[in-house]
């Protein structure tokens, strides 16, 4: 059997390349990379379209009602579209495109999906409170050496390690 | 002088698309479209995430610093987050638990969707629910709290009272130490690889 891990890029090389992508984002667009911003924008726009009167009176959704659209949000939407395309291209080259629910053999697909949704919910809340996710607040924040970036990364990984014991059955 | 493209211009959106493609490509190459590889960092069987993440961060930090020295990049003209200490720590802690439960973070889940992971799609659905919940409960739970402990747009060098170059150097040395440490931990405790 072919060793699958061989097909992944050396992590340090991938890191340097990812670093160049971040530099390009700042150099060309003045923006950091992001992951959660596009989902945030989609949710806010949806709420503003479906329930405009509710959105008008909610301080979080309000700004999405205005006709003038914040350019940074749109930048993140285009960037995330790009991530999907880039992921498909790389996956296709490596022969990794496959419809599946990936999980440890010790848990069921159903359990995996439930925990994926729960994890997503927490990330949705946390990324709004922390003003960005692992990429948007953490990686991009550290690239400009901002205190915020280092704090959020320390909190994400620190809590991840603390919580890992409780959820070990999901993974190992 | 950077940024090259004007914010909100069509050229900038096109740049966003191509930068995103490069981002997604590298994430997938590194193996970030699989949650089991990502979760490995928390159980010691795969430290790829940590290595890619920190290498990327200090490569970018060093690159931007050099562009700044060359006079083609100005930190004042690009995105720089304001630091709200406690909300950031609490938000990060919530995300940390989300990471271990869901096995993805938002960026990597997009990459997971790209390669056909249904669990990644479920994760993104969860993010949308989470954002919605945050929005609905915004005024009574988060609105005041998120603005507390504002220390301004602070960088590490300002807070530590050292030059930006030294700050980046310390960051790199710290990163290299972590890389050495995690490999040692994996070897020392004889943590086995997980098949996925």
pLDDT at A68: 62
Contact B13 A75 (CB under 8 A): yes
- CB count within 10 Å of CB A152 equals 33
pTM, two decimals, is 0.94
Among candidate residues B57, B105, B153, the one with its CA nearest the CA of residue A159? B105
Query: CA-CA distance, B69 to B92, in Å (whole number)?
Result: 32
pLDDT by residue, tens only, chain B of 196 residues: 778 998 878 899 999 999 999 999 999 999 999 999 999 999 999 999 999 999 999 999 999 999 999 999 999 999 999 999 999 999 999 999 999 999 999 999 999 999 999 999 999 999 999 999 999 999 999 999 999 999 999 999 999 999 999 999 999 999 999 999 999 999 988 888 887 7
Chain B interface disruption, residue of A12, A18, A59, A139, most B CBs within 10 A: A18
Q: How many CB pairs under 8 A join A and B?
A: 552
- My answer on whether A31 and A77 are in the same domain is yes
**CB < 8 Å from A in window 49-88 of B:** 50-61, 63-64, 67, 72-73, 75, 77-85, 87-88
Query: CA-CA distance, A133 to A170, in Å (whole number)?
Result: 23
Average pLDDT, chain A: 91
- My answer on whether A31 and A116 are in the same domain is no
Contact B126 A117 (CB under 8 A): yes
pLDDT at A70: 61
Query: CA-CA distance, B192 to A90, in Å (whole number)?
Result: 27
- My answer on whether A166 and A111 are in the same domain is yes
- My answer on whether A7 and A92 are in the same domain is yes
- My answer on whether A58 and A108 are in the same domain is no
- Judge whether A22 and B53 are in contact, CB under 8 Å: no
Q: CA separation (Å) from B60 to A14, A140, B99?
A: 13, 9, 24
- My answer on whether A113 and A79 are in the same domain is no
pLDDT at B6: 87
- My answer on whether A62 and A111 are in the same domain is no
- My answer on whether A77 and A162 are in the same domain is no
- My answer on whether A58 and A69 are in the same domain is yes
ipTM for the predicted complex comes to: 0.95
- My answer on whether A109 and A74 are in the same domain is no
Range of the domain at A158: 101-172
Of A34, A59, A99, the CB nearest to B138: A59
The residue ranges of every structural domain in chain B are 33-80+155-190, 82-154
pLDDT tens string A104-163: 999 999 999 999 999 999 999 999 999 999 999 999 999 999 999 999 999 999 999 999
Give the domain-ending residue among A99, A129, A152: A99
pLDDT at A73: 63
The domain total for chain A is 2
Give the domain-ending residue among A84, A99, A114: A99
- My answer on whether A108 and A56 are in the same domain is no
- My answer on whether A39 and A16 are in the same domain is yes
């Amino acid at each position: 059997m072919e060793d699958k891990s061989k097909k992944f890029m050396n992590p340090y090389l991938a890191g340097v390349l990812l670093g160049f992508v971040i530099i390009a984002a700042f150099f060309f667009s003045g923006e950091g990379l992001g992951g959660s911003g596009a989902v945030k924008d989609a949710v806010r726009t949806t709420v503003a379209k479906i329930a405009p009167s509710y959105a008008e009176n909610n301080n979080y959704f309000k700004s999405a009602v205005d006709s003038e659209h914040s350019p940074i949000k749109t930048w993140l939407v285009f960037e995330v579209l790009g991530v999907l395309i880039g992921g498909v291209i790389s996956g296709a080259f490596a022969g990794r495109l496959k419809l599946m629910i990936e999980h440890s053999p010790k848990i069921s697909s159903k359990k995996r999906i439930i925990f994926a949704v729960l994890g997503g919910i927490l990330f949705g809340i946390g990324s709004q409170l922390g003003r960005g996710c692992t990429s948007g607040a953490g990686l991009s924040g550290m690239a400009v050496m901002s205190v915020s970036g280092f704090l959020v990364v320390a909190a994400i990984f620190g809590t991840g390690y603390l919580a890992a014991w409780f959820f070990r059955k999901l993974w190992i | 002088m950077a940024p090259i493209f004007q914010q909100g211009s069509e050229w900038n959106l096109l740049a966003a698309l191509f930068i995103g493609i490069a981002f997604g490509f590298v994430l997938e190459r590194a193996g970030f479209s699989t949650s089991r590889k990502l979760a490995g960092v928390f159980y010691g069987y795969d430290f790829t995430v940590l290595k890619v993440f920190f290498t990327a961060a200090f490569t970018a930090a060093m690159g931007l610093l050099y562009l700044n020295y060359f006079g083609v990049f100005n930190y004042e003209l690009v995105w720089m987050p304001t630091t709200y200490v406690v909300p950031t720590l609490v938000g990060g802690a919530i995300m940390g638990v989300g990471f271990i439960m869901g096995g993805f973070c938002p960026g990597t889940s997009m990459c997971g969707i790209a390669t056909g992971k249904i669990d990644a799609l479920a994760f993104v659905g969860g993010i949308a629910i989470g954002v919605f919940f945050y929005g609905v409960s915004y005024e009574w739970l988060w609105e005041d709290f998120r603005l507390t402990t504002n220390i301004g747009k602070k960088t590490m060098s300002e807070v530590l009272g050292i030059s930006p170059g030294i700050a980046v150097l310390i960051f790199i040395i710290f990163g290299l130490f972590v890389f050495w440490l995690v490999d040692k931990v994996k070897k020392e405790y004889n943590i086995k690889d997980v098949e996925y």
